[in-house]
Amino acid sequence: MAINLLHTGMLKNYFKTAWRSLTRNKVYTLINVTGLTAGVACCILIALYVKGELSYDGYHEHKNEIYRVLQAYRQPAPEGKPLPPPKPAEYQVWGNAPVGPALMQEFPQIKKLAQFTSPLTLLLQHQGYRFQENNIPFADSILLQIFSWKMLYGNRETALEAPFSIVLTQSTARKYFGDTNPVGQELKVENKFTFNVTGVIEDVPENSHFNFNGLMSMSTFRGFGGPEVFSNWGYVDFYTYFLVDKGTDIAAMQARTASFVKRKAPNEPGYSIMFEPMADAYLHSGAMRQPGVTGSLSNVYIFSVIGIFILLIACINFMNLSTARSMERAKEVGVRKAIGANQKGLVFQFLTESVLISVVAVLAGITLAVLFLPVVRNVSGKAMGLSMLFTPGMTAALFLLPLLLGMLAGSYPAWALARFKPVEVLRGRFKPSGRGIVLRKGLVIAQFSLSVALIAGTAIVYSQLKHMRSRDLGFNQDQVLVIDFGGDEVMQTKIKSTKAALKENPAVISVTASRAVPGDFFPNAGTQIESKEGAMKSFSPSLYEVDVDFIPAYNIKMAAGRAYSRDYASDPEEAMVINEAAARELGYANPEEVIGKKFDQWGRKGKVVGVVTDFNYESLHKKVVPLAMRLAPRESLNKLSVHIKSNNVRRTVSEIEKIWGTLAPHRPFIYNFLDQSFNMQY
């Protein structure tokens, strides 16, 4: 009992002495606490980012048993020669419909399989509430049984079975029905279809590799698209996911895919599939045509290293300041040793001071991180919530952090101070050792080296982003107002009059309509174009469906030939414009050589009339790939691009909104500026 009281008394004395020392040297304490606080705050924010990136799709109950089908579409080898296996970058997640049922028949290991389509932009209406929703795909009913989204209302197993049924997310349902149960209520879709609300699920977490605002039953799409869509191995508009039993040998399943494809799709010699774990979808997938966002594993590594560097800099700063005060504390150590203090006790005393500073710094760092979290969340676009701070792992780390920091930053100063010889100190003969001076110099060099590396890295990244945002992309993106009317049929019939009405505004420079704009989602089109040898060469370029004004309105330069023109009545059916990358893909080094060559694409046949220069219609992270620009049929138009003058943007937008209200009173005015939406890719 006496021993315990003695130990308790000693501990109290250590903490009391440490506290007095810290409060007596306020400037030193403030500098140390400030440095560690900044380091801890940065590390906490970085840890939240890294934790968020690593948490994608982790909320699903069967996350490790869910796989998806990747599909590759390549041109067959000449003369029937076998194709080598596709490279990983040649696969895409977007594929055909018949592969799903065929896999269920062939592989008994698959317990459940579901498909969903590309998301649609739809106008939904209930009574007086009307909103344009941007992310609603068609989906199989089994989808709700594979993924672990919480069902708030409705039956998970049957909610998406009947035609014209729709399941809403909680936030979407609240817009139309408040907090009441909407199951059984009706929604008007695009002012002509009536859908029955059959369920409500919790909002899909932001750490999901794909997201949506609602799901429409796939049986509805079957009625719209016809059965041929679901049996055509070359029709691409579906994402396929499946669930297997735990412990399934997926490699053995993969080994059978070549023979499976050969039997099921004999008329598609360039077609291949492979299976990818859903757990790899966000950070580890190199496939094209993802259903949602993907992350960067290299960014996770880089930020993790940056976090460690920042903490090391803060700890080295602490050690340098502590050892620099060694001369001031030498007499204190000498007196303590003279009256009986041993080296172990002194080490513990100085470590106690370090831990106290660390405790204060960690508490201040947590506070600082909480204050700056909204700013970091806004800049990064990541869902970094406070709740992530209070998970068991993070809570344990925050409890242990002061002890680890105190031990790491205070170990050498404590050891160095405790080794002072009392006789030399009290006689005034004490001098710091040569090894200690070398170590301090080494720490200073290390600290500055790490700091320079971080500053240089920041400068490089900033210059790269500045370059990406200021580089000429090959098209005009400034002051372009993009109005999204969601493919509204009424607006499609009055595109010409709408464009004319908008052009009457003196602040409007040009107006053009298209299916997509740069930075948007776009399809690929199976295309044949005549080669130099006179044979029709097949490839699958990206496709932009545009109107006749698109190329001049976006100031896209011509490399050869001409743009579409109203002077040529045959252009809508018999003309095609491609980019330089497509010409090179076909073997034409000089774009002039492809002008006049025959083409065959999606039911149209004619001649190539023009080649545009390669413009960056995707982010600068991606290489410009072959592109075909096709005059759009009326039913393909989704957006209007309005180039406006910059003298009074707010007033011009307000005037355009009034014009829109007159032309399309049934359609909300939804717009964005192209440069802002394009830069969101970065």
Burial of 132 (0-12, 13-18, 19+ CB in 10 A): middle
Model confidence at 81: pLDDT above 80 = no
pLDDT in tens, 283-316: 999 999 999 989 989 999 999 999 998 888 888 8
Which tokens is 10 given?
């000693």
Q: How far apart are CA 363 and CA 487, in angstroms?
A: 53
Residue 334: left if φ>0, alpha if ψ -120 to 50, beta else—which one?
alpha
Contact indicator for 405, 317 with CB cutoff of 8 Å: no
Which of residues 143 and 21 earns the better pLDDT score? Answer: 143
pLDDT of residue 193: 93
pLDDT band at residue 379 using 50, 70 and 90 as cut-offs: confident
pLDDT band at residue 510 using 50, 70 and 90 as cut-offs: very high
The residue assigned the tokens 């989704």 is 638
pLDDT of residue 403: 79
Contact indicator for 487, 639 with CB cutoff of 8 Å: no
Model confidence at 263: pLDDT above 60 = yes
pLDDT of residue 418: 57
Helix (H) or strand (E) holding 438: helix 434-470
Rg (CA), the chain: 33
Contact indicator for 214, 144 with CB cutoff of 8 Å: no
pLDDT in tens, 553-570: 999 999 999 999 999 999
Q: How far apart are CA 296 and CA 287, in angstroms?
A: 13
Q: What is the mean pLDDT of residues 22-46?
A: 81
Total residue count of the chain as it appears in this document: 682
Contact indicator for 275, 68 with CB cutoff of 8 Å: yes
Which tokens is 564 given?
């579409």
pLDDT of residue 225: 65
Q: How far apart are CA 621 and CA 603, in angstroms?
A: 33
Name, in order, each residue with C-beta under 8 angstroms of 114's C-beta and a sequence gap of 6 or more: 100, 139, 140, 141, 142, 143, 145, 146, 240, 241, 242
Name the average pLDDT for the chain: 87
Three-state DSSP string of 191-226:
CCEEEEEEEEECCCCCCCCCCCCEEEEHHHHHHHHC
pLDDT in tens, 316-349: 887 777 666 655 555 555 555 555 555 566 666 6
Name, in order, each residue with C-beta under 8 angstroms of 25's C-beta and a sequence gap of 6 or more: 325
Q: What is the mean pLDDT of residues 385-410?
A: 75
pLDDT of residue 423: 53
Q: How far apart are CA 99 and CA 275, in angstroms?
A: 12
Helix (H) or strand (E) holding 275: strand 271-277
Q: What is the mean pLDDT of residues 588-605?
A: 95
Contact indicator for 355, 402 with CB cutoff of 8 Å: yes
pLDDT of residue 630: 96
Q: How far apart are CA 647 and CA 509, in angstroms?
A: 12
Alpha helices in 325-433 (DSSP H): 326-338, 343-380, 392-418, 422-426
